Structure 1
């Protein structure tokens, strides 16, 4: 599968590296130009670079892994992605009164804004509920972590589910895209524990089921 990863920060690199290992053709687009050590990163891990719009238009799946504050112009600049599967990994984070919070939530979501920026794209919200360290390597964990997905297109969710499973997560369908209004605040629970409560970044949510 040809996967365009839009963004080359910690999350984008972790996902891209893992999907290259899984056999996918990964192309990094958009904000990669001039990114520190990008050439050496590609040499070590595989993958290619291309202008953002070219990468997105040629891909089977477009993965958005951008800082929220710079997302809108970059996403709108990808062009007409009508019918494309778009995985939104972003959380709409902002600083408010000196504290990290969400720009939107409960009445709308970052994922729904992404869908408005990309009319006709088949947007799936997922891979926003854990840190880059875990996304790139779930084998460090004592139990299989879960990752919720939300989207309005069943086939697009199936595609996203397969990519999430290849990372080692148990993908769980959370419902329509509007459920991103819950998944983005769930990411804040992870951030609170990881950064503010001292839990660190090497953990993820898991589902403990009752034994038979």
Structure 2
């Protein structure tokens, strides 16, 4: 089963590192083109190659590792998904310019972390996300932990817990296989409406909860 990654920031690059450490193949992409990823793929080794967004999006399983506000630009114009599996790694947060007024807003409890919550008017982020990938089978994963720990699924003599959720049982089973092959202890949180809310940053009850299965 082929894996594609759209987005090469902290989320996309650290998932690629985790895949590379197990010798698992993937194509990683970004909006700047494959040449901009030369140093990253050199670091990661032969199992990870750079490609265009269209090439990454043609994989059997595609991780979308871009910010919520960037989905239209990242996914616009891609071919139909036709039931392929798309992993939603988004959260409803906006990343703030440290010199902006928002970064110093005393009414924002997250300002010290450089983010603020995006009001989705009662929706969770996967409800918004799936509008950009019509025909895809969406599974939520890789969104609830600090991106810096994603490349370290095995730690302290155990396995880091990775939550996932979705509405298609077969799609979730395939994502579970990938998570377990990477080295995570995969925990199914149920449907997107349930699990998406539980693990969604910044205010989901399980958001940023870093469990280790010993």
TM-score by length of 1: 0.79
RMSD across aligned C-alpha pairs, in angstroms? 2.6
- 1:158 Cα deviation from its structure 2 partner: 0.6
- 1:187 Cα deviation from its structure 2 partner: 8.0
- 1:35 Cα deviation from its structure 2 partner: 7.8
Change (3 A) 1:77 1:20: farther
For 1:187 and 1:19, the matched residues in 2 are separated by 28
Q: Which of 169, 173, 190 is matched with 2:184 structurally? A: 169
For 1:34 and 1:2, the matched residues in 2 are separated by 18
- Residue 93 of structure 2 is aligned to residue 78 of structure 1: no
Partner of 1:116: 131
- The equivalences for 1:114-153 within 5 A come to 114-141=129-156, 143-153=158-168
For 2:170 and 2:20, the matched residues in 1 are separated by 23
Which runs of 5 or more structure 1 residues have no equivalent in the other structure?
191-202
Change (3 A) 1:63 1:189: closer
For 2:116 and 2:190, the matched residues in 1 are separated by 24
**Local SS of the residue matching 1:130:** coil
Partner of 2:197: 181
Partner of 1:50: 51
For 2:66 and 2:87, the matched residues in 1 are separated by 12
Q: Size of the alignment, in residue pairs?
A: 194
Which runs of 5 or more structure 2 residues have no equivalent in the other structure?
97-101
Which sits farther off after the overlay, 139-148 or 109-118? Answer: 139-148
For 1:23 and 1:34, the matched residues in 2 are separated by 20
Verify the 8 A CA contact 2:85 2:136 in the aligned structure 1: yes
**Local SS of the residue matching 1:175:** coil
Partner of 1:205: 211
Which sits farther off after the overlay, 22-31 or 144-153? Answer: 22-31
Which sits farther off after the overlay, 127-136 or 4-13? Answer: 127-136
Over residues 45-97 of structure 1, what are the superposed CA-to-partner deviations in whole Å (9 max), with x where a residue is unaligned? 1322222123212x110001112232222123333112110011121212565
For 2:125 and 2:146, the matched residues in 1 are separated by 18
**Local SS of the residue matching 1:136:** coil
Partner of 2:99: none
Partner of 1:22: 22
